[in-house]
Amino acid sequence: MDVKVNAGPFTLSPLPYDEKALEPVISAKTMSFHYGRHHKAYVDKLNQLVVNTRFAAMPLDEVVRASAKSSADTQIFNNAAQAWNHTFFWACLAPKGGAPSGKLKADIDRDFDSLDNFKKQFAEAGGAQFGSGWVWLIAEGTKLKIEKTGNADTPMVHGKRCILTIDVWEHAYYLDYQNRRPDFLKAVAEKLLNWDFALQNYQRAG
């Protein structure tokens, strides 16, 4: 898919797989709208907002952290955080999923009793998020935890390490699942989580 982004310091990162690669859990049509329109819109708007500001010279993650500190920068934060969250989310998915390994597997068993129990809790937490937002696996100190955030909020601005996430905004699932958000979350948790990417994030957190 040829996606053009408005000129500016921030670019729309390419998907790490083809738009059809996550079917049947996530359709190519959903990916086309979610990535090519929603994600792109956040990047385009951010580029408009940062013109002639200090944020234009910052990496995206620094924009997120810096703009979170001031209510005057809420619009910049919302678009920067959504651009970052979506890029992270695409990397959290893999066509063939997989399973955790090494210390991550051991600590999931320690903190959630089992991988199956983690997947169940992860999907349930996402389903319980009221309105738009995200569900995250985070590392806080030596502990793995599941956390929900609303709208564009992200655990990284609160000093926590993001390991995995699933987008629970309606545009992430409505074309495929309508109002059945729990079915979407269960399918993603069981079939699409990129545990190699999660392990990389967890090793950096250690």
Global pTM? 0.94
Evaluate whether 176 touches 182 at the Cβ level (below 8 Å): no
Ordered domains of the chain (ranges, CATH): 28-91 (1.10.287.990), 102-205 (3.55.40.20)
pLDDT per residue over 106-124, tens digit each? 999 999 999 999 999 999 9
35 contacts 90 by C-beta, under 8 angstroms: yes
Tell me what pLDDT residue 8 has.
Answer: 65
In the β-sheet with 133-140, what is the strand arrangement from edge to edge? 143-150, 133-140, 161-167
**Over the stretch 150-200, which tens digit does the pLDDT of each residue have?**
999 999 999 999 999 999 999 999 999 999 999 999 999 999 999 999 999
Show the tokens assigned to 80.
Answer: 């920067």
Band of residue 6 on the pLDDT scale cut at 50, 70, 90? very low
- Cα separation, 90 vs 76, in Å, equals 21
Q: Which residue has the higher pLDDT, 112 or 204?
A: 112
Q: How far apart are CA 8 and CA 63, in angstroms?
A: 14
Tokens describing residue 109? 């068993």
What is the predicted pLDDT for the residue at 142? Answer: 86
In whole numbers, what is the pLDDT of the chain averaged over residues?
A: 94
Q: Which residues make Cβ contacts (< 8 Å) with residue 71, sequence separation at least 6?
A: none
User: Residue range 87-103: average pLDDT?
Assistant: 95
| pLDDT on residue 1 | 33
Per-residue pLDDT for 85 more than 50? yes
3-state secondary structure 66-130: HHCCCHHHHHHHHHHHHHHHHHHHHHCECCCCCCCCHHHHHHHHHHHCCHHHHHHHHHHHHHHCC
Which pLDDT belongs to residue 5?
A: 39
